[in-house]
Structures are given as structure tokens and as C-alpha cells.
A and B are shown apart, each in its own frame.
Chain A
Amino acid sequence: EADIYQTPRYLVIGTGKKITLECSQTMGHDKMYWYQQDPGMELHLIHYSYGVNSTEKGDLSSESTVSRIRTEHFPLTLESARPSHTSQYLCASSVGTDYGYTFGSGTRLTVV
């Protein structure tokens, strides 16, 4: 059973549109993360948060932004989608630095 939920699972959208990918977790985890992953490729950290009102950019530069107003919610926004944003976006959460992540099922985004 997933305790971290991502919506939508699939999204096809036109260039220039604004989109928000939702991520919610019910585990009370302080740490949350967004990864970008192309099919069959490695995970790239694009954003992370260590708690409410805390957000940081990850290792891979991204044009997306995130917010963390509530512990359970960590949405990712693209103000103007481009074909280069086509990818899978994975959200994860963690209870601490020495514990693993719980991943959501991902959102597969296609920008046409």
C-alpha cells in the first residue's frame, strides 16, 4: 500500500502551459524529495525539503519550483512547460538521514 501519492499518473500537455504535479504523504515525514527520471535511466534530484517552509534545489538544475506549506504536501510546478520537460517525476519522503526513502508511483509527463 502506498503511503505517498502522486497525481496525476500520466499527463500530456501543450507547450507553454502551467502545470502542478501533486505529491502527498500520510506518514508524517519531514523530508521530501522530487526526482526526475528518464525511462531506464538514473534518478536526478531536482528539489528537496526538510520541513515546512524549507525548500532547496537539488543536484540537477530544473526550471520547476516547489513549495512546502504543509508537512504532508510537496507540489511541484512548471510555469511554462516545454518538450524538454518530458520525463517521469518521482516524489519521495523520509523520516531521517539514516533511513530509506518511500517513493510514490511517479507522474509521467509528456509536453507536446
Chain B
Amino acid sequence: GESVGLHLPTLSVQEGDNSIINCAYSNSASDYFIWYKQESGKGPQFIIDIRSNMDKRQGQRVTVLLNKTVKHLSLQIAATQPGDSAVYFCAENGATDSWGKLQFGAGTQVVVTP
């Protein structure tokens, strides 16, 4: 079946550098995408979302890029800080018969080193 997947399971980033987390999706019917951050022992928290009528959206220190041609989503974190260490999940709203269920990727562990 169609699914959402991440390219890198673990990303090690030096403090102050920019992070890029990638996500490949295969469901061309998806028109809404979200990035979540999950810190150890907590539930996932919403970071930023993007709809398919956009290719870029910016938040505070984060930018999401959507390339519908190659079905690719990325999250960029500027000036990575120790507090950014977490697992990051991408999610898509899937096909029209998904009944509102988000499809989550496997997750990328981001480790920020001093």
C-alpha cells in the first residue's frame, strides 16, 4: 500500500548548524502535510504544516518545503539548539478514503551535539 517514509533514521547536528529532515511520500492524493516533534517521554507536538497549494512555509526557525513533483517533504531547522533534540515525524492526510486519518512516517531521531 502507499505509505510515508523518511530517508534518514538518525541525524546528528552540531549546535548552531542548520538541520534538514527529509520525508518521502507516495500518495499523490495527499494534500495536507504536517511535521511533528516528539521529545523523550512526551506525545508528538505540532511544529508546522503545509497544504499542497504551497511549496514553502516558514515558522519560527523552521521551514517546510514541499516538492509535489517528486513527492518529497522536508523540514529545515535554522541554528539548531540542544532543545531541538527529538524524534521528528512527517504525516500526510492520505487518500480520500483514509477517513481523516493521518499517515505517519517512521520518524527521524535528531541529536544535537555541542
Q: Mark A residues whose CB is within 8 Å of B.
A: 6, 31, 33, 40-43, 45, 48, 50, 56, 58, 90, 92, 94, 96-106, 108
* Cβ-defined partner of A98 (8 Å) among B32, B104, B109: B32
B106 touches A106 (CB 8 A): no
A108's closest neighbor in chain B, by CB? B41
Given contacts A40-B87, A40-B109, contact A94 B100 (CB under 8 A): yes
Q: What is the CA–CA distance of A50 and B36 in the complex, to the nearest angstrom?
A: 22
Contact-residue size bin, chain B (C-beta under 8 Å from the other chain): 20 to 34
CB distance from A19 to the nearest CB of B (A): 19
Q: What is the CA–CA distance of A98 and B93 in the complex, to the nearest angstrom?
A: 7
Task: Give the residues from 15 to 43 in chain B that come closer than 8 angstroms, CB to CB, to chain A.
Answer: 31-32, 34, 36, 41-43
A106's closest neighbor in chain B, by CB? B43
* Cβ-defined partner of A50 (8 Å) among B45, B49, B99: B99
A97 touches B105 (CB 8 A): no
In the assembled complex, B65 has its CB within 8 A of some CB on chain A: no
Q: What is the CA–CA distance of A90 and B100 in the complex, to the nearest angstrom?
A: 17
In the assembled complex, B102 has its CB within 8 A of some CB on chain A: yes
